[in-house]
Amino acid sequence: MKDFALMMIGAALVNNVILARFLGLCSFMGVTTRIDTAAGMGLATTFVITVSSMADWAVQHYLLDAYGLGYLRTVTFILVIASAVQFTELTIRKVSPSLFQMLGIYLPLITTNCAVLGVALLLVEGHMSFIGSTLFAFASSLGYSLVMVIFAGLRERLALAQVPRLFAGPPIAFIVASLLAMAFMGFSGISTG
């Protein structure tokens, strides 16, 4: 139990998907202009990462490992991820049309969000059990959503700030992102101490 809790904190904060592993940066810069879109994107990605990593675990154990098809890993994982994303897109379109409009192109682009494939491949490297890998994926995606929402909040404040013209827009957003990443580096102290 304690192991799982530590592993989840490690996945969410210490080895944060965005700020420590630098995965999923396109949506990190793309949809974080408003908190509600960022939260919606975080929820959608959380769902996709969790579901696809569960399916990927099953594929890895009962198909790839069982028949020695390790070379098919990337193809099959992408197949699973793409289906999960399509399913999420259908659901969001039904449940919340306004969120569907706000997320726009970034919703189908979850397919190519490297965080999703990255987490699935990390799970394979980690040789985890089914519960462990599901919790790891869930915690990783929670960390992703957390950073998305924090950064969206910062950018909402930033939109009101007086920024020198040279830095206005994306440059100051990148600087803020780097400061946020430095703040998250502080969590790496947990793992050693």
State the residues that interact with other proteins by CB under 8 A: 59, 63, 67, 69, 72, 75-76, 79-80, 83, 86-87, 90-91, 93-94, 97
What's the token pair of residue 28? 């990190």
**3-state secondary structure at position 34:** coil
56 versus 123: smaller Cβ distance to other proteins? 56
75 versus 175: smaller Cβ distance to other proteins? 75
- Residue 131 makes CB contacts below 8 A (sequence gap 6+) with 4
| Shortest distance, position 15 Cβ to other proteins, whole Å | 30
86 versus 191: smaller Cβ distance to other proteins? 86
| Shortest distance, position 170 Cβ to other proteins, whole Å | 18
59 versus 110: smaller Cβ distance to other proteins? 59
76 versus 112: smaller Cβ distance to other proteins? 76
Give the single-character DSSP code of 110: G
End-to-end CA distance of the chain: 20
Sign of the alpha-carbon dihedral angle for 163, 164, 167, 168: positive
- Asked if 26 contacts 103 with a C-beta cutoff of 8 angstroms, the reply is no
| Shortest distance, position 179 Cβ to other proteins, whole Å | 31
| Shortest distance, position 124 Cβ to other proteins, whole Å | 17
- Asked if 115 contacts 24 with a C-beta cutoff of 8 angstroms, the reply is yes
Q: At what angle do helices 130-160 and 170-185 cross, to 10 degrees?
A: 130
| Shortest distance, position 95 Cβ to other proteins, whole Å | 9
